[in-house]
Amino acid sequence: MTTITDNEPAEAPVGHGHDLPSDAQYVKITLILAFITVLEVGTYFIEEATTTLLVGILVPMMIVKFLIVAGYFMHLKYDNPIFRRVFLFGLFLSVVVFGVMLTTFGFFSSDFLQILR
């Protein structure tokens, strides 16, 4: 099916500097993610969970999942650092700016302070 008539041999798989994970590793990573997701869903069944508690449990798990997907599936861990900078800058801006915005609305005053207490 592939009718590649390029004279040069197809360029070797794009070099990422480091070796990317193998398929087996990807599956393992997915299992980890799935496990965390199960834990997340599990919190739904905790009857007496307060919002504070849920935030305290769920947000860290969310961040871990986020980092795993970005780092491994999106190869940020292996790829050119410029990608990381561009993306994380956007992410950082988003979190900080909207965090501040929500703060000016007093959004965190109830939940957030409870955690600190």
Partner 1 sequence: MTDTALGTPGAADHGHATSTGISNTKLAMWVYLGSDCLLFGSLISTYLLLRHRSVGGPTPEELFDIPFTSVSTFVLLMSSLTMVLAVSSLMRGDVRLNRIWLGTTAMLGAVFIGGQVYEFTTFYREGLGYTTNIFGSAFYTLTAFHGVHVSVGIVMLMSMLVMSFRGNLGPERSETVETIGLYWHFVDIVWIIIFTVVYLIP
Partner 2 sequence: MAIIERSSDILALPPGAGVARAPMGVFSRPRAKTGWRSWVSTVDHKKIGIMYGASSLFFFVIGGIEALAIRAQLAAPGQKLLSAALYNQVFTMHGVTMIFLVVMPMGAAFMNYLMPLQIGARDVAFPRLNALSFWTFIFGGIFLNTSWFLGGGADGGWFAYAPNTGVIFSPSHGMDFYAIGLQITGIASLVGGVNLVVTVLNMRAPGMTMMKLPVFTWMSLVTQVLLIFAVPVISVALFLLTFDRLFGANFFNVQQGADPLLWEHLFWIFGHPEVYILILPAFGIVSEIIPVFSRKPIFGYPFMVFSGIAIGFMGWGVWAHHMFASGLGPISVAAFSVSTMFIAVPTGVKILNWMATLWGGKISFTTPLLFSIGLVAMFTIGGLSGVTHAVAPADTQQTDTYYIVAHFHYVIFGGALFGFLGGFYFWWPKVFGYFLDDKLGKVHFWLTLVGFNLTFGPMHILGLQGMNRRIQTYRDGYGFNFWNFVSTIGAFIIALSVLIFFVNIARSKRGAHLQSAPGPDPWDGRSLEWSVPSPTPEHNFDDDPVVVHFDDWWHRKYQADETGRVVKVHEPEEIAMIGDGSRAHLPAPSYWPIVMATAFPLIGYGLIFNLAISFVGGLVLLGSMVGWALEPSDDEDQLPHGHDGNGHDDGDDDHAAPAAEREEVTVGD
Binding interface with partner 2 (CB under 8 A):
3-6, 8, 82, 89-90, 93, 96-97, 100-101, 103-105
**Residue 14 and residue 74 in contact, taking contact as beta carbons nearer than 8 Å:** no
Q: What is the dihedral of CA 24, 26, 28, 31, to 10 degrees?
A: -140
Q: Which does 103 bind (CB under 5 to 8 A by kind): partner 1, partner 2, none?
A: partner 2
20 token code pair = 């990317």
Which residue of 18, 80, 109, 115 would you call a contact of partner 1, by CB under 8 A? Answer: 80
Distance separating alpha carbons of residues 36 and 42, to the nearest angstrom? 10
The alpha helices in 17-71, defined as continuous H runs, are 23-43, 51-68
Catalog residues that contact partner 1 under the rule CB under 8 A: 1-4, 6, 10-11, 13-14, 20-23, 26-27, 30, 33-34, 37, 40-41, 43-44, 51, 54-55, 58-59, 61-62, 65-66, 69-70, 72-75, 79-80, 82-83, 86-87, 89-91, 93-95, 97-98, 101-102, 105, 107
